[in-house]
Structure 1
Amino acid sequence: MDEPHPHIFFAEPPPEEAKGGIDLAMRTIELYLDRTDLSLTRKASLKDIKSVTGPCLVHFHGLWQITHGWMGRWCRAHDIPYVVSPHGMLEPWAWAHKKWKKWPYYLLVERRHLQGAGRVLATSDLEAQNLAEFVPADQVHTIPLALTEDVGPNCAAARAQRGWPSDETVLVYLSRLHEKKGMHELLKGVAALPAEQTESLRLVVVGDGPSEYRERLRRIEDEHNEQLPRIDWEGAVWGEEKWTYLQGADLFCLPTHSENFGLVVLEACQVGTPVLTTPGTPWQFLEDWNSGLIAEPDPESLRSALDTYLSSFGWTTEDRHRLAGRTRDRFGLSTVGPQYVDLYQTVVQEPSRRAGRVGDSSARMERDLGLE
């Protein structure tokens, strides 16, 4: 007789903290599970989990949530399997940011929560390597994020909708405005380009962020006003409208210091737009695809990459469709979705790992405490 399918519960962060990448990641899994025999409860509470009678699994999304700590503790005590998706919150840049605040909580709650998981889920090999400093490498499993919408190349129509002339080269940044994302580095890199390269250039900035950081960007713009091309500050754009920015761009730019996946890069590739990003993302293979440039998140490296793009990087309609096709083949929901189902079923069926390994110090913990 076949084993009954497990019921999946999502333990989620508050909506304001899930907005963007985490929400899209959860929606990706939800879209695929709707095609299967596995049932899903979103925004699950401990009461929801306690009410189930058959096999189940809890998927925790994000870290630093006290309610997740309590739910994980109950799951370990009652032998309920769970997996944890940190969603980049243990990446080196994120871990170092306000570490004084995170470190005590990690020791008291998060460490036990992670080590009691059946799997800690990474979205890229780069994130998996970083997570292996917190939990044993065999506990880390990698599944990329997937395309969630059926949107493809449509450059000419998108540019017409946005009012971008065909003789302009349009660079688009679409992400949160935050120091980690490196927009200040991009502004300085663009300002360092020779005047003949910026005459027909337009930089479109789509995003919002803390007022202090926005003011910092404005000061950079004022300081380099004569060297910078036209800049359109568009604010935050969500939903269907964002696609026209990605479709119409000549080059999508994400000069981030750290990114566990960089979903917006996937979305740019989905519509066939080449990408400029950094080694802090898992997208270095775009250079092998001849579909992108990789630069360090500093002004000189970004200036050099932009110079290469503007002087010698040709890109055609055929190139856009080729990149979109390769992206669908690798990251389509029909490719990625079954990997989640396999993971859930494996963790539910395997012997319990939830006794915890709190006696095993992580490599990063030992190094931070000077115990190596």
Structure 2
Amino acid sequence: MKRPKVLFISPYLSLTYGGTSKSVDDLALTLGRSGISLDLITTNANVNTCLDVPLRVWLEQNAYRIQYFPAWFKNDLIVSRSLLKWLSHHATDYDLVHTHTIFSPLISYCHWICQRHAVPYITTPHGMLEPWALRYKRWKKQIYFSLIERANLLKASSIHSIAKSESNNIASLCPDTTIQLIPNGVHWHDFVSLASPDAFYQRYPALQNQQIILFLGRIDPKKGLDLLASAFGSIYRQFPNAHLVVAGPDSIDFLPTATQYFADAHCLEAVTFTGMLTGHLKYSALAAADMYVAPSYSEGFSMSVLEGMASGLPCVITIGCNFPEAAGSHVAHVVDIDSEAIAHALITCLKDPQAAKAMGDRARQFIFEHYTWDKVATQLMNVYQAILNKQSSIAS
């Protein structure tokens, strides 16, 4: 069987843009190790600065190649003429193109280039077609979707959905499209041996004897920090030893608003904002935490939730996290998007740490059995092969 040659395209790869960047990188690595000949093109966008990376040259990763292109960008609006010029000349070098994110002019142009050269493409919206996401900046998205996005989605060989509710939303917006539901995953080897909390405690020594509730995500309106502030305010009055760690980048200057949420809830003195944690320090924070919370209004399929569960933490997540399977398997508290519901679930964990730990242990096993990148890559390779087989049938 011919080894398929696949091109990934993402507007960004900086972790300051959130979990999408990590999932693209992790998936590319696993697919490359699984036998796909994979290249990834992206830009040097980094919210307010540029990534310090070589431009317009191939860089060898462990199992794939990556090329960064210079870009003009403002927040998540990213334009790169040099990337588009390169793709115009090289699209036909690939059997299949896989794009990541939507509502991006850069990605829309990439879709048009694929259409012009008759190169099949699959696209992953990464939760950007969720109802909350569509309501955010609603009028702009409605116009863009009607004029540009819908047609490009309909012409895709397949749409890759990462959650069941997302599949349903896509089907309602784009009937008669082919949708493949394949969730995100984790690298199991990152969690087989859990990290030591020492590095985190060395950075934040005052937290060593606290009951740490960890939030791991961007400082962003959709992450539900207003709900978390209200919930934690009531928790802190009952459990003065509880401490909330908010770990994530602030790419849209939302931190002052988020800080005010906790000040208004009279619990700011028990909250530590760490900024983005990566690598060993992130895993150390997961090891130091007693529980994990994701109060989101909307997610595609949260990478950090998977990491919290794979770390064996009791997790409290909202239905906006799109993980009903966790509730069905009794491996996390999945609650309504409501501050009282979030508080009640966290208090349940604090009052019965033994039961909370047992749930965390079940969660860890659940993730290893069902949500690893190896399993994801196998499913996605089958999708790629089906698309290429169909292309070969049409050609013959």
Deviates more, 1:245-254 or 1:208-217: 208-217
Structure 1 gaps, min length 5: 355-372
Shift of 1:36: 3.5
Q: Which residue of 2 aligns with 1:359?
A: none
Q: Which residue of 1 aligns with 2:10?
A: 12
Equivalent position to 1:22, from 11, 20, 23: 20
List per-residue Cα deviations over 1:319-366 (Å, max 9, x = no partner): 6554323211211232221111111111122259x9xxxxxxxxxxxx
What is the number of residues matched between the two proteins?
Answer: 350
CA distance in 2, matches of 1:164, 1:150: 31
- Mapped pair 1:232 → 2:261: no
- Mapped pair 1:309 → 2:307: no
- Mapped pair 1:158 → 2:197: yes
Q: Which residue of 1 aligns with 2:152?
A: 113
List per-residue Cα deviations over 1:291-337 (Å, max 9, x = no partner): 32122232222222222222235257776554323211211232221
Q: Which residue of 1 aligns with 2:377?
A: 337
Would the alpha carbon gap of residues 270 and 214 (structure 1) be closer, same or farther in structure 2, given more than 3 Å must change?
same
List per-residue Cα deviations over 1:270-298 (Å, max 9, x = no partner): 11111101011222332344332122232
- Mapped pair 1:248 → 2:288: yes
- Mapped pair 1:147 → 2:186: yes
Contact between 2:92 and 2:117, CA under 8 Å: does it hold in 1?
no
Q: Which residue of 2 aligns with 1:185?
A: 227
- Mapped pair 1:38 → 2:36: yes
The alignment's TM-score, normalised by the length of structure 1, stands at: 0.84
Contact between 1:198 and 1:229, CA under 8 Å: does it hold in 2?
no
Shift of 1:233: 1.8
Shift of 1:216: 2.3
List per-residue Cα deviations over 1:106-162 (Å, max 9, x = no partner): 222111110000111111112111111222265111111121362227679316742
Contact between 2:15 and 2:22, CA under 8 Å: does it hold in 1?
no
CA distance in 2, matches of 1:87, 1:156: 29
- Mapped pair 1:293 → 2:333: yes
Contact between 2:123 and 2:156, CA under 8 Å: does it hold in 1?
yes
Contact between 1:286 and 1:292, CA under 8 Å: does it hold in 2?
yes
Shift of 1:39: 1.1
List per-residue Cα deviations over 1:145-197 (Å, max 9, x = no partner): 121362227679316742477763210111111111011211111212373x3
Q: Which residue of 1 aligns with 2:262?
A: 221
Aligned-residue RMSD, C-alpha: 2.9
Q: Which amino acid aligns with 1:189?
A: A
Shift of 1:52: 6.2
SS, match of residue 41 in structure 2: coil
Structure 2 gaps, min length 5: 43-82
CA distance in 1, matches of 2:15, 2:352: 41
Would the alpha carbon gap of residues 9 and 55 (structure 1) be closer, same or farther in structure 2, given more than 3 Å must change?
closer
CA distance in 2, matches of 1:98, 1:284: 27
Deviates more, 1:324-333 or 1:150-159: 150-159
- Mapped pair 1:102 → 2:141: yes
Q: Which residue of 1 aligns with 2:102?
A: 63
The alignment's TM-score, normalised by the length of structure 2, stands at: 0.79
Equivalent position to 2:319, from 255, 259, 279: 279
SS, match of residue 260 in structure 1: coil
SS, match of residue 219 in structure 2: coil
Q: Kindly report which structure 2 residues correspond to 1:347-362, keeping only aligned pairs within 5 A, or say none.
A: 347-350=387-390
SS, match of residue 235 in structure 1: coil
| Structure with more contact order per residue of length (Cα contacts < 8 Å, sep ≥ 6) | 1
Q: Which amino acid aligns with 2:335?
A: A
SS, match of residue 133 in structure 1: helix
Would the alpha carbon gap of residues 151 and 176 (structure 1) be closer, same or farther in structure 2, given more than 3 Å must change?
same
- Mapped pair 1:168 → 2:168: no
